[in-house]
């Protein structure tokens, strides 16, 4: 089969980790006889350097013309980079919000799995780490506080900032449907996160989610307030299967879920629209302090490529092969520095990519 893949290498460690994911995809194509065509697309600080904006209309069209997009990391050091002297709408991360909205990427899937080989790196108490966990956070990505009306004004010498949190039932329903569909292929449980004891938007979220649940009688639904969810993630993460939540809560909880795996360098993500199109990226940042040193962990980006094979290309066997290759590499004790422990083999970014390709 033939697919066109847009590559957003991005900033910081982005180009290094995308190169390794591309290497893995090329190994898959060679193994199964597929054809992957790549087109480089600029977004983030690298686009600012060339065009003065984090994302051009031409870049959006190039992404739209692809079957899927694989992205590295966006942004730089917020205290030293000249990009962060620009107005907010022209900074690197503004490109992320723009491309998500332009391509209708409303569903963000963030798996969080603790591999048994990495249980020693988990910061949780031993009993929780030994149980392990394998959850997926389904985060609504194009609504809520991040996309609502915002302004700052001064009245009688007092500055006031306003950010608006708004959701309509259609936005909630479509992300809830995605969550139940994914849960049906996993352990058949959805935990919907809200703040329904305080927020009107959360009360609507809960009501619509319960309406959707009626169409999936074989899937268990529970509701949990966001503050309790934050506690339960560090107390007993094994209880979760699919976590469904709105934009800001999902942003916070997915980073917490990333940390308890031992390294954010292990966590992939997918952002999907209502078709098979998706944008796939690691959950971590651009790590400018280690950029260009060939020491970043590329596994999150490699697993993001696996999600692309699974969700956008419907190549389940190929995705399983990539996932199993990562598992095999970890079982052999091969580690980048962020997940290294005594007795393991410490490797570079490119060596980790080579090791996964060898398993494929």
State the catalytic residues: 146, 195, 227, 251, 255
* Torsion angles phi and psi, residue 285, rounded to 5: -90, -170
CB 265 within 8 A of CB 339: yes
User: What is the DSSP annotation of 189-236?
Assistant: EEEEEE-TTT-HHHHHHHHHHHHHHTT-TTSEEEEEEHHHHHHHHHH-
The residue written with tokens 């723009």 in the block is 98
Q: What is the DSSP letter of 38?
A: E
Closest-CA residue to 113 (of 102, 125, 98, 129): 129
In this structure, the dihedral spanned by the alpha carbons of residues 129, 321, 181 and 143, taken in order and rounded to 10 degrees, is: 80
Local structure of 112: helix, strand or coil:
strand
Question: Residue 338 — left, alpha, or beta (φ > 0 → left; ψ -120 to 50 → alpha)?
Answer: alpha
CB 336 within 8 A of CB 297: yes
């Amino acid at each position: 089969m033939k697919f066109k893949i847009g590559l957003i290498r991005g900033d910081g460690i982005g180009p290094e980790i995308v190169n390794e994911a591309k290497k893995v995809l090329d190994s898959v194509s060679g193994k199964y006889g597929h054809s992957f065509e790549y087109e480089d697309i600029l977004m983030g600080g690298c686009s600012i350097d060339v065009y003065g904006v984090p994302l051009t209309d031409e870049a959006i069209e190039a992404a739209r013309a692809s079957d899927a997009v694989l992205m590295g990391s966006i942004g730089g050091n917020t205290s030293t980079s000249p990009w962060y002297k620009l107005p907010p709408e022209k900074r690197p991360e503004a490109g992320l919000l723009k491309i998500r909205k332009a391509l209708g990427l409303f569903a963000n899937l963030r798996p969080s799995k603790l591999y048994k080989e990495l249980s020693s790196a988990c910061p949780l108490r031993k009993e929780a780490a030994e149980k392990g966990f394998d959850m997926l956070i389904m985060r609504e990505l194009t609504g809520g506080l991040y996309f609502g009306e915002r302004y700052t004004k001064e009245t009688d010498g007092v500055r006031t900032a306003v950010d608006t949190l708004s959701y309509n039932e259609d936005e909630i329903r479509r992300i809830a449907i995605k969550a139940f569909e994914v849960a049906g292929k996993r352990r058949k449980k959805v935990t919907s996160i809200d703040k329904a004891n305080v927020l009107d938007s959360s009360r609507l979220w809960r009501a619509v989610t319960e309406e959707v649940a009626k169409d999936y009688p074989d899937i268990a639904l529970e509701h949990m307030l966001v503050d309790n969810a934050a506690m339960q993630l560090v107390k007993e993460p094994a209880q979760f299967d699919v976590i469904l939540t709105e934009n800001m809560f999902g942003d916070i909880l997915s980073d917490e879920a990333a940390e308890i795996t031992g390294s954010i360098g292990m966590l992939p993500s997918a952002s999907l629209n209502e078709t098979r199109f998706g944008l796939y990226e690691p959950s971590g940042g651009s790590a400018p302090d280690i950029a260009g040193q060939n020491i970043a962990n590329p596994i999150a980006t490699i697993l993001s490529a696996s999600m692309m094979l699974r969700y956008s290309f419907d190549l389940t066997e190929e995705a399983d092969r990539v996932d199993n290759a990562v598992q095999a590499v970890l079982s052999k004790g091969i580690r980048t520095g962020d997940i290294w422990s005594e007795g393991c083999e410490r490797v570079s970014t490119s060596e980790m990519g080579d090791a996964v390709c060898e398993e494929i």
